[in-house]
Amino acid sequence: MSPGIFWWASLGAIIALGLFSFWTPTSGPILCLFRRSAGLPCPGCGLTRAASYLLHGDVVSSIRFHPFALLLAIEAALLWAVVGFRIHRGSPVGLPASSDVWAVGHVAALVAFWLGRLASGTAPF
């Protein structure tokens, strides 16, 4: 990947995040197919609203809707920085060998958190 493509993609991401920050997550239609069909929130329910609150700088509300939004935002920013550094140095940009372990760990933590929310009645409806 050329550095030019990376910088154009970075600019596109900044513009998309800027446009997304105009949306306020107070209400709206239910888009989650799992919730619409099963009547229960899915493991990711609340992530979109949490991300929106995070973009507005309201970290407390973001964590209240879904604490994983902050974790995923930090991970995405770090990954973007590492990819940019590798592209700048001319190094190959590939997934690390342990990425499958990270992915399984994320899914397991997300499902465990979801089950805990369902059991305690704290899911964001």
Q: What is the pLDDT of residues 108-122, one digit of tens each?
A: 999 999 999 889 988
Output the pLDDT for position 60.
93
Nearest to 33 by CA among 48, 51, 45: 45
Q: Which residues contact 47 (CB under 8 A, 6 or more apart)?
A: 65, 66, 68, 69, 72
What pLDDT, on the 0 to 100 scale, is given for residue 125? Answer: 63
Residue 9's φ and ψ, nearest 5 degrees, are -65, -40
43-90, pLDDT tens digit by residue? 988 888 888 888 888 899 889 889 999 999 898 888 888 888 888 878
